[in-house]
Amino acid sequence: MSERKQRKARQTPPTVYLVAGILAAVAGFGTVYVSFAPSDNGRQPKTVSAMSGEGDGAPASSSENAAAGPLAGLNKGAMAAFVVRPTPLPLPDFTFIDAVGNAKSLAEFQGKVVLLNIWATWCVPCREEMPMLDELQRELGGKDFEVVAVNIDKGGSDKARDFLAETGAANLALYTDPPGKLFATVKAVGMPTTLLIDRQGREIGRLVGPADWASAEAKRLIEAAIGAS
């Protein structure tokens, strides 16, 4: 390096490098967010199939996404961002904690269609979405279907219990995952993430981000999943 360049480097304030690093990090985060954000026209988020071990990560076309068995054509309107699995995807058995501190496993729900919702008290969209999940459970919950909303906050269940009370979610059971392992286990990429699981414990679709689960489109989607098995 020439003597002139060396003098210029010594004279450059450290804050210049710090600001440049921050700007680079922000730019990188923005790229990741755009890649993971669900579309609003029913197309598959770019990275979902790659993270679930299927395909090469290329976005699925709307026709591919809409032509999957009993859910065909139902990912529209309020469910436009719902990604239909072309074939059911086996899930690993996982556990979480119920309201009295007992471990619950996915296997215990076999025989029911499950809408697995992963949420946190600090997630603003989760707060907006929770009353809709509660309404869906009130209308369709029973021997054939259950909304299983699992909180992943650290530090016990008190915050989650208060959150459900504040949002008026009287029909949802309290489920928590204090270690936060569930998020990685199901390869979630955002908050909230919601999986539709068939009676055999296989994922048949998912939606990243909030949705109106009390909408007519959501109910038709759930009713089709219930009727399919």
Tell me how far apart the alpha carbons of residues 116 and 93 are, in angstroms, rounded to a whole number: 13
CATH code that applies to domain 37-228: 3.40.30.10
Asked if pLDDT for residue 153 goes beyond 90, the answer is yes
- The answer to whether residues 183 and 206 touch, using CB atoms and an 8 Å cutoff, is no
59 alpha carbon, distance to own chain's centre = 17
Query: Which tens digit of pLDDT belongs to each residue from 36-88?
Result: 333 333 334 333 333 333 433 333 444 444 445 889 899 999 999 999 999 99
Give the bridge partners for 115, in sequence order: 147, 196
Kindly report the pTM of this predicted structure. 0.73
Give the bridge partners for 208, in sequence order: 193
Q: Of 59-63, 113-117, 176-180, which has the strongest mean pLDDT? A: 113-117
pLDDT for residue 66: 44
- Environment class of 215 (CB within 10 Å of its CB; exposed 0-12, middle 13-18, buried 19+): middle
The domains of the chain are located at: 3-34, 37-228
pLDDT for residue 14: 47
